[in-house]
């Protein structure tokens, strides 16, 4: 059965109301903008539980879901300034947010994809991050227990895919995408190029096709600059 879908709209057509969704990207680098766009125009679906390091930007990526008020909660490591709707909804407590230290955020997703039942870490011990969490002293240092993160869907951005779903990311767009691809029931990937099987050198493959359920060639491959800095 082919994993290739004709459009981003078709690829996200069964994401249901209240779904939990992993979305890759550091800032907007490596964020699946086309899949987010297709999801944002779906009618009568929302109440999404997002897991994403960033909130996209105004009129782009995950930011579109906040602008359409389709998000009820998010686990993130930061609230960035690039998406006003995200910032406003957090400050007005219209959505629930769990701030998670970035390394812990990564490891919780990795644990979810690896079938690990959680782990102890010293990060956050003795702070608000540790509230209502099990603690243990290991080698004389207090650690707190963190649960794994898994989701119904993951929206991934890669550079190239072959027809079996083997993925190659480009430079820093790799970020959270490889671990998120392993931690969902259904992994949906947008790419710049779809190649015949055998076109990718096995040593280049970052995500094996066994983790990928759907592939679509992104309709809009342009990417804005999230925060522009100009040096004289």
- Please report, for the domain that includes residue 196, its CATH number: 3.40.1080.10
Average pLDDT, integer, range 155-159 = 97
Residue 99 within a domain? yes
Share of the chain above pLDDT 90, in %: 86
Q: What's the pLDDT tens digit per position in 189-213? A: 999 999 999 999 999 999 999 999 9
Taking a C-beta distance cutoff of 8 angstroms, is the pair 101, 130 a contact? no
pLDDT tens digits, 35-64 = 999 999 998 899 999 999 988 899 999 999
For the segment 142-161, the average pLDDT, to the nearest whole number, is 97
Residue 141 covered by a domain: no
Between residues 222 and 194, which one has the greater pLDDT? 194
The verdict on residue 230 lying in a domain is no
> 182: pLDDT confidence band, cut at 50, 70 and 90?
very high
In the prediction, which pLDDT does 55 show? Answer: 87
How confident is the model at residue 82, as a pLDDT?
A: 81
Give the span between the Cα atoms of 146 and 26, in whole angstroms.
Answer: 22
Kindly tell me if the per-residue pLDDT of 81 is higher than 80: no
Count of structural domains, the chain: 1
Identify whether 51 is part of a domain.
yes
CA distance 67 to 84: 9
* Count, residues in the chain: 232
Alpha-carbon Rg for the chain, nearest whole angstrom, is 18
* Domain of 55, in residue numbers: 8-103+149-217
Is residue 118 exposed (0-12), middle (13-18) or buried (19+ Cβ within 10 Å)?
middle
What is the pLDDT confidence band of residue 227, given thresholds at 50, 70 and 90?
Answer: confident
Let me know if 57 is exposed, middle or buried by CB neighbors in 10 A (0-12, 13-18, 19+): buried
Q: Give domain status of residue 126, yes or no.
A: no
The edge-to-edge listing of strands for the beta sheet with 214-217 is 96-99, 71-76, 48-51, 20-23, 151-157, 184-191, 214-217
Strands 135-138, 141-146: pairing is antiparallel
Does 190 fall in a domain?
Answer: yes
**Distance separating alpha carbons of residues 192 and 34, to the nearest angstrom:** 11
Q: With respect to residue 21, please indicate whether it lies within any of the assigned structural domains.
A: yes
At 87 the pLDDT is 92
Can you give the pLDDT at residue 167?
Answer: 97
**For position 192, what pLDDT does the model report?**
96
185 assigned to some structural domain:
yes
Distance between CA atoms of residues 56 and 73, nearest Å? 15
């Amino acid at each position: 059965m082919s994993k290739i879908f004709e459009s981003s709209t078709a690829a996200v057509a069964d994401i249901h109301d209240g779904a939990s969704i992993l979305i890759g990207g550091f800032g907007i680098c490596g964020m699946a903008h086309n899949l987010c766009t297709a999801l944002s125009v779906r009618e009568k679906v929302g109440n999404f539980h997002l897991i994403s390091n960033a909130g996209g930007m105004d009129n782009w990526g995950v930011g579109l879901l906040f602008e359409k008020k389709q998000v009820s909660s998010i686990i993130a490591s930061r609230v960035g300034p690039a998406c006003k709707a995200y910032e406003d909804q957090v400050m007005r407590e219209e959505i629930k947010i769990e701030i998670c230290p970035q390394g812990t955020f990564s490891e919780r997703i990795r644990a979810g994809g690896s079938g690990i039942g959680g782990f102890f870490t010293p990060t956050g011990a003795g702070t608000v991050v540790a509230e209502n969490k099990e603690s243990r002293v290991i080698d004389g240092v207090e650690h707190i227990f963190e649960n794994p993160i898994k989701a119904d869907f993951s929206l991934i951005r890669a550079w190239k895919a072959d027809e079996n779903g083997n993925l190659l990311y480009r430079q820093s767009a790799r970020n959270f995408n490889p671990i998120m691809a392993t931690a969902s029931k259904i992994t949906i990937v947008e790419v710049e190029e779809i190649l015949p099987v055998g076109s990718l050198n096995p040593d280049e493959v970052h995500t094996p096709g066994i983790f990928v359920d759907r592939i679509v060639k992104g309709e809009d491959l342009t990417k804005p600059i999230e925060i522009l800095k100009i040096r004289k």
